[in-house]
Amino acid sequence: MTESEVVLEWTEIPVPEALRELEPAQQKQVFAYIENSVRSKTDGLDELYQAIAMIVKYIPHFVVIPLMVEHIRPAIAAGVCRKMSVDQATGYANDLPLEYFSEVSKNLDDPLMARIIGKMKKHRAEKFIHYELQHHLLHMLDIAGHFDQKMLEVIARHVTLPEHDDDLVTHPHREIIEQIREMQK
C-alpha cells in the first residue's frame, strides 16, 4: 500500500488519481492539509458523543430508539456507542432495527462489536449474525475473529462457506474460515 493510501485509508474513499500524480513532498502537504481540516471540523465531537451517551442513560429506550433511527446517522450513533459501556450499548443494540444496527456496526471496531454481540439477547444476536452473513459476509468474518467459541458456533450453524481450499491460500479470513469449517464437520 502506498503512503497516500495509508494516510487516506480511514476515509474509505478512493484516492483521486490527481493526488497520485503529485510528487511525494506535495502529497504530504495535501495530506497534512486534509488532516488539519478534518481535525478542525471534528474538534469537540468526542465530548459531544460523551455528553449524548450520558444523557441517554436517563431517557427510556422506547423514546430514544425511534428518534435515533429517524434523526441520527449510523456513524454518529456509533460515535455515541463508543462512549457507552458495553452493557449500555448492548441494551440499545437489542432494540435497534436490524438494518440500522448493521450500519452502526460498520462504524465500530471489531472487538467492540464482538463484545456487544456476545452480550445481546440470544435471538437478537443470532438475527444480526444471520443478517450480516447474508449481506456483509466479510464484515461478519472480521467481527468473528474476536468471538468466543459459543458465538463462532452460531456462525457455523448459519453460514455455508466455499469448499475450495485454493481460494483460502491468500484469503485474509483464512484462519477464522478454517475454524468455522472445523465446527461444521
Read off the pLDDT of residues 57-97 as tens digits, 9 standing for 90 and up: 999 989 999 999 999 999 999 999 999 999 999 999 999 99
Q: How confident is the model at residue 2 (pLDDT cuts 50, 70, 90)?
A: low
Q: What percentage of the chain has pLDDT greater than the value 90? A: 54
In this structure, are 67 and 10 located in the same domain?
no
Residue 166 gets which letter from DSSP? G
Residue 1: pLDDT over 60: no
**Residues sharing a CB contact under 8 Å with residue 9, sequence separation 6 or more, in sequence order:** 1
In this structure, are 38 and 50 located in the same domain?
no
In this structure, are 55 and 37 located in the same domain?
no
**Residues sharing a CB contact under 8 Å with residue 42, sequence separation 6 or more, in sequence order:** none
Cα–Cα distance for residue pair 74/113, rounded to 1 Å: 14
**Residues 119-129 pLDDT 10s:** 999 999 999 99
- pLDDT for position 23: 87
Which residue, among 93, 130, 137, 139, has the nearest Cα to 115 in the 3D structure? Answer: 93
In this structure, are 30 and 94 located in the same domain?
no
In this structure, are 127 and 152 located in the same domain?
yes
* Structural domain for 19, as ranges: 3-42
Average pLDDT, rounded, for the chain? 87
In this structure, are 62 and 118 located in the same domain?
yes
- pLDDT for position 79: 95
In this structure, are 36 and 121 located in the same domain?
no
In this structure, are 38 and 62 located in the same domain?
no
Cα–Cα distance for residue pair 159/55, rounded to 1 Å: 39
* Number of domains making up the chain: 2
Residue 145: pLDDT over 60: yes
Cα–Cα distance for residue pair 169/126, rounded to 1 Å: 29
- pLDDT for position 177: 83
Classify each residue of 105-115 as buried b or exposed e, where b means 16 or more C-beta atoms within 10 Å of its C-beta. Answer: bebbebebbbb
**Residues sharing a CB contact under 8 Å with residue 61, sequence separation 6 or more, in sequence order:** 91, 92, 95
In this structure, are 69 and 155 located in the same domain?
yes
- pLDDT for position 165: 62
In this structure, are 83 and 172 located in the same domain?
yes
Least confident of 9-13, 38-42, 115-119, 124-128: 9-13
Which residue, among 61, 70, 62, has the nearest Cα to 89 in the 3D structure? Answer: 61
